[in-house]
């Protein structure tokens, strides 16, 4: 009997619980550790799964408790962490965006080859059951010759409206596409191969605190061979439309990857009278079957298998099945990640002129204010204004180790003030 692969998670943010649940549901994989420089965050996640928490990656590696890791840190750290872990003999799955450039992906792939270990890209929607069916239809030729594809990501992005504004995805305009683009670009690349971006347009602009602006929508026009590919991102208040539509010579297929449904429409042009009725009956039947299947799945699992959760479970399971068999799943392999990054890089290169970045204050502000009630309506606004005065030094506050650095600086500042007060008046009551 093959022993379970022991898995560690690096980064204990929001997405970590999805990975932890997927690991727990994967045969032959066992979560054993969580690592985050914020030990309280690592301990909180680890406690929920009965595993060990670490605040130092080198310590976790040296302990020899893991066979593989999931890297869930801010994207600017992915390459270095992946190279380190691969060099230590660990298999590595990296959350999207896998990297910030094609070169970074190449560096990671080279490290994987040198170590004889597998590198996986967590483009999780490629593991969704409805996407797998769509992919099979297209590969079998059941849609005929596909000439056009439209991939929509229309979902409000809460931080763009109300913060927190210090997130990595909001620091630069390009980060929005790097953060969200892997979802549509991974589907396009998986279905059709390399993408050539021909045009990018941006919608209206949202002004963030501090004066910087970010686009609320993106439209990317590309070609993959003889297929016209349109990618739409809409990040403001809108009807949830996360979908893929393929138009072929024999049929049209629409996959709703938020609901995990697939509807196929076919024409019978030989009968102009019955064709509209038959088409609508076919669509109704597809919706009924998909709805009944999803309802049964949710009821049978006590609502634990949401489409999003299923996409993670199937992605993680495919990655570890590839490790155990020695044959990686092409959907999540480095070559696929490279195609995705190439497409995103092409879109970033085609960006129109961006609004000028407001001049930022120079120098190093010294925070010396405590706000009591900082989470209230007024306090939140005041705290935000105060934070803007130190954003030069702490622009990457959610980054790896930044919180610890801020805590250290504040402690030193307080100690200095206390010592100065005592020097001025040794009898002063502190």
Tokens encoding 137: 């239809």
List per-residue pLDDT tens for the chain, 430 residues long: 578 999 999 999 999 999 999 999 999 999 999 999 999 999 999 999 999 999 999 999 999 999 999 999 999 999 999 999 999 999 999 999 999 999 999 999 999 999 999 999 999 999 999 999 999 999 999 999 999 999 999 999 989 888 888 899 999 999 999 999 999 999 999 999 999 999 999 999 999 988 999 999 999 999 999 999 999 999 987 788 999 999 999 999 999 998 899 999 987 555 555 566 555 655 556 556 656 555 555 555 444 558 899 999 999 999 999 999 999 999 999 999 999 999 999 999 999 999 998 887 677 666 566 667 766 777 777 677 666 655 555 555 555 555 556 556 655 655 665 566 556 555 544 4
Give the fold, CATH level 3, of 129-303. Dihydrodipicolinate Reductase; domain 2 (3.30.360)
Q: Which residues contact 113 (CB under 8 A, 6 or more apart)?
A: none
pLDDT given for residue 276 in this prediction: 60
pLDDT given for residue 302 in this prediction: 40
Q: How far is CA 231 from CA 49, 124, 159, 216, 332, in A?
A: 38, 18, 22, 14, 21
Q: What does DSSP say about strands 146-154 and 227-234: parallel, antiparallel, or unpaired? A: parallel
Give the fold, CATH level 3, of 5-122. Rossmann fold (3.40.50)
**For the chain, domain boundaries:** 5-122, 129-303
pLDDT given for residue 428 in this prediction: 46
Q: Which residues of 267-277 are buried (b: 16+ CB within 10 A; e: fewer)?
A: eeeeeeeeeee
pTM of the model: 0.79
Q: Reduced to 3 states, what is the DSSP secondary structure of residue 256? A: strand
Provide the residue count of the chain.
430
CA distance 72 to 74: 7
Query: Is the Cα dihedral 194, 180, 146, 309 positive or negative?
Result: positive
What letter would DSSP give residue 67?
S
């Amino acid at each position: 009997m093959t022993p379970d692969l022991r898995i560690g998670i690096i980064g204990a943010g929001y997405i970590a619980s999805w990975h932890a649940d997927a690991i727990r549901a994967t045969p032959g994989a066992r979560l054993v550790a969580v690592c985050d420089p914020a030990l309280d965050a690592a301990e909180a996640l680890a406690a929920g799964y009965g595993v060990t928490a670490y605040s130092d990656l080198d310590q976790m590696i040296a302990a020899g408790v893991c066979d593989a890791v999931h890297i869930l840190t801010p994207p600017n750290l992915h390459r270095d962490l992946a190279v380190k872990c691969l060099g230590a003999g660990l298999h590595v799955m990296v959350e999207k965006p896998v990297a910030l450039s094609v070169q970074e992906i190449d560096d990671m792939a080279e490290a994987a080859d040198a170590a004889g270990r597998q590198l996986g890209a967590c483009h999780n929607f490629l593991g969704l059951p409805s996407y797998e069916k769509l992919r099979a239809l297209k590969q079998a030729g059941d849609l005929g010759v596909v000439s056009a594809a439209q991939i929509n990501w229309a979902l409000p992005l809460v931080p763009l409206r109300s913060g927190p504004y210090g997130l990595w995805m909001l620091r630069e305009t390009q980060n929005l596409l790097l953060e969200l683009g892997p979802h549509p670009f991974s589907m396009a690349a998986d279905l059709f191969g390399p993408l050539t971006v021909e045009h990018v347009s941006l919608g209206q602009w949202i002004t963030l605190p501090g004066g910087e602006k970010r686009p609320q929508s993106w439209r990317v026009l590309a070609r993959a061979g003889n297929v016209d590919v349109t990618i739409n991102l809409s990040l403001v208040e809108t009807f949830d439309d996360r979908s893929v539509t393929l138009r072929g010579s024999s049929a049209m297929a629409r996959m709703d990857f938020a609901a995990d449904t697939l509807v196929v429409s076919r024409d019978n042009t030989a009968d102009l009278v019955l064709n509209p009725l038959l088409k609508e009956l076919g669509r109704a039947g597809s919706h009924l079957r998909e709805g009944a299947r999803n309802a049964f799945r949710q009821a049978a699992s006590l609502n634990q298998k949401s489409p999003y959760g299923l996409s993670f479970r199937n992605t993680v399971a495919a990655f570890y099945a590839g490790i155990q068999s020695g044959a990686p799943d092409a959907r999540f392999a480095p070559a696929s990640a490279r195609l995705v990054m190439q497409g995103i890089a092409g879109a970033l290169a085609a960006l129109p002129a961006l609004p000028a970045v407001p001049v930022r204050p120079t120098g190093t502000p010294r925070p010396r204010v405590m706000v009591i009630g900082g989470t209230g309506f007024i306090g939140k606004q005041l705290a935000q204004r105060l934070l803007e005065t130190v954003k030069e030094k702490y622009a990457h506050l959610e980054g790896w180790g930044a919180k610890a650095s801020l805590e250290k600086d504040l402690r030193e500042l307080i100690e200095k003030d206390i010592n100065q007060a005592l020097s001025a008046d040794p009898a002063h009551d502190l």
